[in-house]
Structure 1
Amino acid sequence: MIQSANARQNDPVGGAIAALEGCTKRYPGVLALDNASFRVAPGEVRALLGKNGAGKSTLIRMLTGAEVPDSGTVSIDGVALSGSGSARAQEAFVRGVRVVYQELSLVPGMSIAENLFLGRWPRRAGILDYAGMEAEARDAMQRLGLDMPPSDPVAGLSPAERQLVEIARVLLGKPKLVILDEPTSSLAAAEAEKVMAAVKRIAADGIAVIYISHRMNEIRQIARSATVMRDGRIIDTVDVAGADTREIVRLMLGSEAAQAAAVETKARDKVVLDISGLALAPKLACVSFQLRQGEVLGIAGLLGAGRTELLQAIMGVRAYDSGTICVDGIDIRRPGYRAMLNRGFGYTPESRKEEGIVPLLGVDENTVATDFAAVSRRGILSARRIAEATRDVIARLHVKTAATDTPIGTLSGGNQQKVVIGRWVHAGSRVLLLDEPTRGVDVEAKAQIYAIIRQLAAEGRSVIFVSSEIEELPLVCDRVLVLREGRLMEEFTSPNIDQDAVMAACIAGH
């Protein structure tokens, strides 16, 4: 049973470092924020939950001054924001609002210190003050408990360290509110712990934190309360300690989430892919497994275990050192990307926005890019065939988009991911290598992607499903293999895929 924290929400604004009062925001055809009231106190870590399109981004843009409400007020440190445009955003910044977005904005070729002061480098007598810059950078890093030389280049940092550098950057200038948008979505559990430790340090300094995440385990560790949004409204604010996950999901979706049934395997005996002794230093030592027709095979493991490298080696994106890859019983020697495409393989990369889509192109262009021949006539692209092929994918994968030519970058993360998978459906691929296909998408979109994958398997396609979120593997996989220390160490088969046992196998020896 959820213990409501609305009483705290209904207190006077006094004492809150940031507050929205009765804010409404409309866009053409969309009510993005509906009479929303929200407050967060100094030193509080407040989780913000809701599926994509619930209004979280609009609420955050209100707090940062990037958007002006049609009605209602936004106050930072007791003073209402005024004006519009860049002046309003600057006012919020001066009053201490900082935000770290899901997509990192670091420049790999620059040092930690240079990235912390990016665009506002301090000068003395017209010359960049490197000494002062590194001293302030060192102080900011130490506030997070980090001991990294400010002169080190960002290119050499781990994903978790890069995320911490982003967080350290917002600590410059005495912030009062720090907003973190999915800060651990690209990190495995062990790496995420470092980020959560940093969040606790920030809150201990009296800084308010709004923490956006779909990972309930993390939220329970660091947040005192969670605000749930749906359809532009703030539905409730609950005390995390007394909140049941199913009840929170019900608040997010508006109805009881369907209980996921154990996967009923329909895999056939035919082996479509046989990997033997695959090695790729330093990540893979000796990997062997088989993939059958109609099977969804999960690959679990900690960040850096070599999961991505394994998929890339199979797809011909990365050269491996030794081992064999057999497709339909035929030994493929040193496969190239084009050769694997011709054999019916498709690959969705881990980083959707950087490698999976072309944001400014339409849904249609992103969909048919894997097979232009199917939408051409006498060697010339056919607008009619492109639109028809795209409509088929949109209907089949339930992609929410205004039109087939809508720029894909304007879609939610879940709908972008459906298109990324849909392009291989368009190409007729029979073996799909999916690297983190549900990263950064909400619970409803995840369930839809699971259903899509199971349907593809039922049609006889084979899928390798890589995920850092152990809890989703039993929901979609026929089998799960655990990759650790360069080898596949343990195997779990549905319906006996226990997430606790899988996690234990992943972290054994760590």
Structure 2
Amino acid sequence: MINSTARQSPARTIIASIENCTKRYPGVLALDNASFDVAAGEVRALLGKNGAGKSTLIRILTGAEIPDSGMVRIGGEELTQTGSARAQESFSKGVRVVYQELSLVPGMTLAENLFLGRWPRKAGVLSYSQMEVQAAEAMARLGLDLPPSRLVAGLSPAERQLLEIARVLLGKPKLVILDEPTSSLAAAEAEKVMTAVKRIAGEGIAVVYVSHRMNEIRRISQSATVMRDGRIMDTVDVAGADTREIVRLMLGSEAAQAAVLETKTRDKVVLEVADLAFTPKLSSISFKLRQGEVLGIAGLLGSGRTELLQSIMGVRSFDRGTVSVDGKSVGLPKYKRMLKAGFGYTPESRKEEGIVPLLGVDENTVSTNFSSVSSYGVLSASRMAEATRRVIKRLHVKTAETDTPIGTLSGGNQQKVVIGRWVHADSRILLLDEPTRGVDVEAKAQIYAIIRQLAAEGRSIIFVSSEIEELPLVCDRVVVLREGTLKEEFTSPDIDQDAVMAACIAGH
């Protein structure tokens, strides 16, 4: 193990450190005698699966939590306050954090969100002109060219993420913690974030960068701290680190990825899309999906991948084209009609559109087919529980009870339930929009295996992902959506992620 303290040199100016910190919650050892530091101008990746202790370490650095033992120093000074005053103490010393769950107010303008709670005033009056000038400067720092007077409600997910990052760069932060900042972004937008990270690190700001995207980590970070079960397993130099070794440290096993199940696609075409157009995103889309096939769709954010899935599913009405199921045109797809035809759809935004957080795992699971768990129109609690247990067992969902509120589960387990509801409905054609977004390495591997198993059973799957590196792991075939139409096509085992990425960004 490389001890982070031992890695110090006279040239390193330590911005933040925790020393021998332990934190316990009821029944859980969240942080186990952990020591960690990050220096000025350093980009430190923080890796680990869900439950590894990353969030606890971050909350201790920000003062949101107080360790049971150990010491926290920011700028060489120990945090000594308790309660809510501790978070303010950490903030005053220059610690900023952007959590994965954004905290913007949709009904306010970009400028108002940037200065939320600290609006500039002149003679006691809020100064909109000063606020908008400073907001424009902060956004320009990230390459975000938007009018400060625009409402956040009209922003894309990528623009909201960049605005959230711009907000923490106001003032003079010494440490910026980014928790999965690109999990909702495709290549072009992620590039803007990485450019911004490099720029602020160049100004001497320390950055802790939490991500599961190894390609990004290798590009922007000098070192990576790997956590498992509340412990810091190692801190490695990224340039010389082998990905399989990093994943082994994270998972505690040699398996860098779950084995991808082999399956044989059939000749039967179950879905055919011909000359589909959806202005202004899609100009002419044509492809065929065969029984037992996993078809990947790659493309930059804004290329129209979501619109394509929604048009097929009947969530949106397209302008032109035909959709045929089992060789027969369905006319203009309608959501209910596609459900009856055996289609299932998982949306890109799991939190906002994929789950009802306060309802149980059981209610979320059976929502696609209430009739199968009802008697004379009345829901049967026992049948709901039994149907949910089958999905839990099959998809390896970790939950205490079948009626546990789904919002309390990890992102990976929530996503398994979102997919599992279509298994419950016995859907045979699945349209999956970013099914592994925001989940850890272990959960991703499990979702890949689930998808391959479903394909082996004869189900057909369209798999949309902005993480190019995962497409070869799960797809039989990948097509690239660019400039409103499908361009290059790659077939397993010759799906090269660099070639797919090049095809996505050609012309951009």
Q: 1:387 and 1:250, CA in 2 relative to 1: closer, same or farther beyond 3 A?
A: same
Offset from partner CA, 1:476-510 (integer Å, 9 cap, x none): 11111111111111222222222222222222222
Mind listing any 5+ residue stretches in structure 2 that lack a counterpart?
A: none
**2:263–2:452 contact (8 Å) kept in structure 1:** no
Aligned length: 507
**1:144–1:202 contact (8 Å) kept in structure 2:** no
How big is the shift at 1:179? 0.5
Say whether 1:411 aligns with 2:409.
Answer: yes
Which residue matches 2:327?
329
In terms of mean alpha carbon deviation, does 448-457 or 255-264 score higher? Answer: 255-264
Which residue matches 1:431?
429
How big is the shift at 1:81? 2.0
**1:480–1:491 contact (8 Å) kept in structure 2:** yes
How big is the shift at 1:348? 0.3
**Counterpart-to-counterpart distance in 2, 1:258 and 1:209:** 26
SS in 2 for 1:17: strand
Q: 1:262 and 1:352, CA in 2 relative to 1: closer, same or farther beyond 3 A?
A: closer
Matches within 5 A, 1:422-501: 422-501=420-499
**Counterpart-to-counterpart distance in 1, 2:450 and 2:301:** 26
**Counterpart-to-counterpart distance in 2, 1:372 and 1:11:** 63
**Counterpart-to-counterpart distance in 2, 1:38 and 1:422:** 39
Q: 1:71 and 1:259, CA in 2 relative to 1: closer, same or farther beyond 3 A?
A: closer
**Counterpart-to-counterpart distance in 1, 2:261 and 2:453:** 12
Which residue matches 2:163?
165
SS in 2 for 1:264: coil
How big is the shift at 1:464? 0.6
**2:4–2:37 contact (8 Å) kept in structure 1:** no
In the alignment, which of 133, 148, 151 is matched to residue 150 of structure 1? 148
SS in 1 for 2:387: helix
Offset from partner CA, 1:136-187 (integer Å, 9 cap, x none): 3234334445554433443454544332221121122321111001111111
Which residue matches 1:130?
128
**Counterpart-to-counterpart distance in 2, 1:159 and 1:270:** 37
**Counterpart-to-counterpart distance in 1, 2:147 and 2:412:** 38
Offset from partner CA, 1:6-47 (integer Å, 9 cap, x none): 4545789x9421111111112222211111111111221111
Letter in 2 for 1:76: I
**Counterpart-to-counterpart distance in 1, 2:381 and 2:125:** 55
Q: 1:490 and 1:135, CA in 2 relative to 1: closer, same or farther beyond 3 A?
A: closer
Q: 1:438 and 1:147, CA in 2 relative to 1: closer, same or farther beyond 3 A?
A: closer
**Counterpart-to-counterpart distance in 1, 2:156 and 2:421:** 31
Q: CA RMSD in A?
A: 2.0
In terms of mean alpha carbon deviation, does 161-170 or 375-384 score higher? Answer: 161-170
Offset from partner CA, 1:186-238 (integer Å, 9 cap, x none): 11112111111111111122211100011111111111111000111000111
**Counterpart-to-counterpart distance in 1, 2:129 and 2:188:** 34
Q: 1:325 and 1:105, CA in 2 relative to 1: closer, same or farther beyond 3 A?
A: same
**Counterpart-to-counterpart distance in 2, 1:168 and 1:209:** 14
How big is the shift at 1:263? 6.0
**Counterpart-to-counterpart distance in 2, 1:221 and 1:328:** 45
In the alignment, which of 271, 280, 283 is matched to residue 281 of structure 2? 283
**1:264–1:478 contact (8 Å) kept in structure 2:** no
Matches within 5 A, 1:324-403: 324-403=322-401
SS in 1 for 2:14: coil
**Counterpart-to-counterpart distance in 2, 1:228 and 1:366:** 34
**Counterpart-to-counterpart distance in 1, 2:126 and 2:209:** 34
Which residue matches 2:272?
274
Mind listing any 5+ residue stretches in structure 1 that lack a counterpart?
A: none
SS in 1 for 2:236: strand
How big is the shift at 1:120? 2.9
Say whether 1:215 aligns with 2:213.
Answer: yes
Which residue matches 2:189?
191
Letter in 2 for 1:270: K
Q: 1:263 and 1:484, CA in 2 relative to 1: closer, same or farther beyond 3 A?
A: farther
